[in-house]
Amino acid sequence: MSGIIQVKNVSKSYWRDSIETSVLHDISLDIKEGEFTALMGPSGSGKTTLLNLISGIDKPSKGEIIINGADISKLSESALAKWRSTNIGFVFQFYNLIPVLTAFENVELPILLTKLSKAERKQHVETALNIVGLNDRMDHYPKQLSGGQEQRVAIARAIVTDPVILVADEPTGDLDKHSADEILLLMERLNKEFNKTIVMVTHDPHAASKAHVIRHLEKGDLIQETV
C-alpha cells in the first residue's frame, strides 16, 4: 500500500551567488497515513529542506512529491497556498505567532481564509485550544505566555483546519525539558487520538524516540531508517 506521503527520487539544489549547492540527492521515501516520523541528522544534512518540500513551501529541483494522491511539485504558487491551508499544519521551532494577535486570533488565522461563519470559527478555535489545554489563555498575547504555552498555541493553529499532516521543525528546540515533554506528549496524542500523520525534524534523540519511524539523513542522503 502506498503512503500518504510519497517522495520519489527527489533532489534539491540551491543557487547562491551563481554557485550551485546540492542539498538533497535522489531521495525516495514513503510515509504511511497515521505514521509519526522523525527526521534526524546533523546540521546541513537536508532534513529541514526535505520537510519544506513535503509541506509544499519549497519545490524540488528533480523528482515528485505526492501527498494524498496529488503531485504537489506541479502545483502553481497560488494552488499550493490553497493546498497547504487545508492539508498541512505547521509547527515551527520559534512558534512564529503574530505578536499583536491574542492566542485566539492567532489560532483563528488559518480559518479566516475559509467560508466558516464567525460562530463556526469560534467553535473551531476553542476546540483546538481545548485540545492543547489552553482554553483559559485564549485572550492572552504571545508575550504573556511561556515558551511552552506559545508552542501549544502554535500547535492549536496547526490543527485548527484539521489537516491530514502535521509538519514540525524542531518543535522542542527552544523549550526547557518540562515544556518539551508536554509538547511531545501533545504530539503523540494528536497522532494516536486524532490519527494525524506527523513529520518532525529534530536533533533530540529523546524527541525522536516518540516517533514510529526515525529516518536519518546525512549530506543530503537518506542513510538509515529505524522503526
Partner 1 sequence: MKILKLIFKNTLRHKLRTVLTIFGISIAVIAFGILRTVVTAWYSSVSAASANRLIVRQSVSFIFPLPYSYLEKITQVPGVKDVTFANWFGGTYIDKNNFFARLAVNADNYFDVYKEFVVPKDQLETFKKERNSCVIGSDIAKKYNIKLGDVMTLDGDIYPGRWEFVVRGIYQPKFKSTDAMQMFFHWSYLDETMKKEMPGRAGDVGWYVVLINDPLQSASISDQIDALFKNSSAETKTETEAAFQQGFIQSSSAIITSMNFISFVIIGIIMLVLGNTMIMSARERTREYAVLKTLGFSGKHLAGIILGESLLISILGGGVGLLFTYPIIKGFSQFIPKGIFPVFEIEPITVVLACSSAIIIGIVASLFPIQRALSTKIVDGIRFTG
Answer for the pair 9, 178: CB distance below 8 angstroms, yes or no.
Answer: no
C-alpha cell at position 89: 499544519
Closest separation in Å from C-beta 167 to partner 1 = 9
DSSP-derived 3-state class of residue 17: coil
C-alpha cell at position 214: 526515525
Answer for the pair 177, 13: CB distance below 8 angstroms, yes or no.
Answer: no
From the list 2-10, 35-43, 55-63, 125-133, the region that binds partner 1 by CB under 8 A is 55-63
- Selected binder of partner 1 within 41, 46, 60, 110 (CB under 8 A): 110
C-alpha cell at position 95: 512558534
C-alpha cell at position 108: 483563528
Q: Does 135 bind partner 1 (CB under 8 A)?
A: no
Element (H, E) at 151: helix 147-159
Query: 62-67 and 70-71 as β-strands: parallel, antiparallel, unpaired?
Result: antiparallel
Q: Does 104 bind partner 1 (CB under 8 A)?
A: no
Tell me, residue by residue from 16 to 35, as one string, x for binding to partner 1 by CB under 8 A and - for no binding.
Answer: --------------------
52 CB-near residues (< 8 Å, 6+ apart): 58
- Selected binder of partner 1 within 64, 105, 126, 221 (CB under 8 A): 105
What's the length of the chain? 227
- Selected binder of partner 1 within 2, 74, 112, 205 (CB under 8 A): 112
Closest separation in Å from C-beta 48 to partner 1 = 8
Q: Does 202 bind partner 1 (CB under 8 A)?
A: no
Q: Does 70 bind partner 1 (CB under 8 A)?
A: no
Using CB under 8 A, count the residues that bind partner 1.
25
Q: Does 171 bind partner 1 (CB under 8 A)?
A: no
19 CB-near residues (< 8 Å, 6+ apart): none
Q: Does 144 bind partner 1 (CB under 8 A)?
A: no
Closest separation in Å from C-beta 226 to partner 1 = 27
End-to-end CA distance of the chain: 17
Q: Does 45 bind partner 1 (CB under 8 A)?
A: no
Q: Site residues (CB under 8 A) for partner 1?
A: 52, 55, 57-58, 77-78, 81-82, 84-86, 88, 90, 92, 96, 98-101, 105, 109-110, 112-113, 157
